[in-house]
A and B are shown apart, each in its own frame.
Chain A
Amino acid sequence: MTATINVFLKEGVLDPQGKAAHHALDSLGFDGVDDVRIGKQIIIKLSTTDKVKAEAEAKEMCETLLANTVIEDYTIEIN
């Protein structure tokens, strides 16, 4: 199974990279941009074929290493 993990700074934690990209989009004339947040995507190939197990493994990986839950949130998609 493949776990697609997105890690983003939490709502309310200022995202300096997102803010800089937002400013650049404004400067380029892209009106109507309300917010930009930049995160990272981590794609993990798992040997298990059990979706529930894959999700549990990916969650443990996020909590242990892939996200710093002091400042970051994450989402997991299993395919």
Chain B
Amino acid sequence: MKVAVLRFPGTNCEFDTQYAFEKLGHTTELVWHEENTLPENIDLVVVPGGFSYGDYLRSGSIARFSPVMKAVISFANDGGKVLGICNGFQILTEAGLLPGALKRNNNLHFISKHQNLCVINNDNAFLNKCNKGEVLNVPIAHADGNYYIDDEGFALLEKNEQILLRYSDENGEPVVINGSITSIAGVCNEAKNVFGLMPHPERALEAILGSEDGVRMLKGFEA
């Protein structure tokens, strides 16, 4: 698999993301935000975490207009697979590739810790190697992860099985972490080729560092 990892001013998870996919045996290429095109024969575009443009105005709002994002939007509209992690999730919602928006955490804190997540839907190109209802342990690190969508949009998410993950306890019961509607931690688009989540699977690759659950998550894209 050939993975393009985007890089904006203020991105800081691009090397972890490259490391993760290379550890799984894939080739990766960093793509600077000023590029007008993506490398050829890309299987997956990852918009990694960080603080693009210092989170000015709103997280992801400036990065979303970078030249490379035009290429990503047309790649996604042609069915190409795109994954946004943390700030990448914020950028993809700002770009309109994913529904909803991410607001400031309801307790106003930057939350950085390992967190249990319950797999809500796995019939997609991302979580197909995880089981429905399974609890994964993955680090979170964000200030603006409070997912919001209106009632109509939420009903569509549920109906189309677009909710990927919820913050949960060790038994899979939803818990309030940042104020997200129904504790949502990740969603996909209706066509199920664009995925976004606040947790960092690329930081959960080694049991010795707390969790290796991220391996199965990222391996989903190999299918």
Residues of A within 8 A of B (CB): 9, 13-14, 16-17, 19-20, 65-66, 68, 70-71
Assess the B104–A68 pair: CB atoms within 8 A.
no
Contact of B148 among A13, A19, A65 (CB under 8 A): A13
Contact of B101 among A14, A16, A17, A68 (CB under 8 A): A68
User: What is the interface of chain B mostly: helix, strand, loop, or mixed?
Assistant: loop
Interface size on B, residues (CB 8 A): 20
User: C-beta contact mask, B101-140 vs A, less than 8 Å → 1, else 0?
Assistant: 1011111100000000000000000000000000000000
Residues of B within 8 A of A (CB): 57-58, 61-62, 65, 93-94, 100-101, 103-108, 146, 148-150, 179
Contact of B104 among A16, A65, A66, A70 (CB under 8 A): A16
Assess the B107–A68 pair: CB atoms within 8 A.
no
Minimal beta-carbon separation of A18 from chain B (angstroms): 10
Contact of B179 among A9, A14, A71 (CB under 8 A): A14
Assess the B146–A66 pair: CB atoms within 8 A.
no
In the complex, which residues of chain A have a beta carbon less than 8 angstroms from the beta carbon of B103? 9, 13-14, 16, 71
Contact of B105 among A9, A16, A65, A66 (CB under 8 A): A16
Contact of A68 among B61, B65, B108 (CB under 8 A): B61
In the complex, which residues of chain A have a beta carbon less than 8 angstroms from the beta carbon of B148? 13, 70-71
Closest residue of A by beta carbon distance from B178: A16
Minimal beta-carbon separation of A13 from chain B (angstroms): 6
